[in-house]
A and B are shown apart, each in its own frame.
Chain A
Amino acid sequence: QKEVEQNSGPLSVPEGAIASLNCTYSDRGSQSFFWYRQYSGKSPELIMFIYSNGDKEDGRFTAQLNKASQYVSLLIRDSQPSDSATYLCAVDRGSTLGRLYFGRGTQLTVWP
């Protein structure tokens, strides 16, 4: 079983819609969860992190964490073409701090 799983996509949404990106993880002891955005040919950029169950909002982005279901999601409201990128979910299991396990990413395309 993979540590972190994401739908590879591509996920395609129209401009202005809500994009929903999902991630599941295998280690129930995982403590911290991160969403990175990676544009083609560029480096990953941290956009959200979440530690506690529930929702965390930052501008158009909302991260949702459900530890019981081992599930973390990222919602992007009012999607823009500039949001088109690969979104990487990363999990810190807490066994060795700073060791992040990444999913393979979901490719998002927002069409005008």
Chain B
Amino acid sequence: DTAVSQTPKYLVTQMGNDKSIKCEQNLGHDTMYWYKQDSKKFLKIMFSYNNKELIINETVPNRFSPKSPDKAHLNLHINSLELGDSAVYFCASSQGSGTVDHPSSYEQYFGPGTRLTVT
């Protein structure tokens, strides 16, 4: 009963290729996120969707494009992969986008991560 799942777990590819990472959550949450964790373990948000609507779009190269076909799925497509894209990518979800009146909606649950290696 995996709450937030990602595929693939490992992805090794060459520079210039295009790849996708898929994420699914079965928690019934409305909001999903993509994070990037670099080699120094710094975790930074990339995107978030609330009910299929883009809420957060951090300054990331436009080679990265998220897609949310429904509120249970959020995929990440990366074009023209570069060496610097090597990292662990985490998907996460939360009940809502968070309000002080509903603190439980802040809780973000992370998937197991996808380790992307670009050679």
Chain B residues whose C-beta falls within 8 Å of the C-beta of A100 in the assembled complex: 45, 108
Chain A residues whose C-beta falls within 8 Å of the C-beta of B103 in the assembled complex: 32, 49, 51
Cβ B98 vs Cβ A32 within 8 A: yes
Instruction: Report the count of interface residues on B (CB-CB < 8 A).
Output: 28
Residue of B nearest to A105 (CB): B41
Cβ A104 vs Cβ B41 within 8 A: yes
Give Cα distance in the complex from A43 to B108, angstroms: 11
**Given A98-B55, A102-B42, A104-B40: A45 touches B98 (CB 8 Å cut-off):** no
Q: How far is the CB of B6 from chain A (nearest CB, A)?
A: 9
Per-position contact with B for A20-53: 1 when CB-CB < 8 Å, else 0? Answer: 0000000000011010001000111110010100
Does residue A84 face the partner (Cβ distance < 8 Å to B)?
no
**How many residue pairs at the A-B interface have CB separations less than 8 Å?**
61
Instruction: Report the count of interface residues on A (CB-CB < 8 A).
Output: 23
Cβ A99 vs Cβ B45 within 8 A: yes
Per-position contact with A for B85-112: 1 when CB-CB < 8 Å, else 0? Answer: 0000010001011111001001111111
Give Cα distance in the complex from A32 to B106, angstroms: 9
Give Cα distance in the complex from A14 to B109, angstroms: 30
Does residue B12 face the partner (Cβ distance < 8 Å to A)?
no
**Given A45-B110, A96-B55: A88 touches B43 (CB 8 Å cut-off):** yes
Does residue B34 face the partner (Cβ distance < 8 Å to A)?
no
Residues of chain B touching chain A, judged by Cβ–Cβ distance below 8 Å, are 31, 33, 40-45, 48, 50, 55-56, 90, 94, 96-100, 103, 106-113
Residues of chain A touching chain B, judged by Cβ–Cβ distance below 8 Å, are 31-32, 34, 38, 42-46, 49, 51, 86, 88, 92, 94, 96-100, 102, 104-105
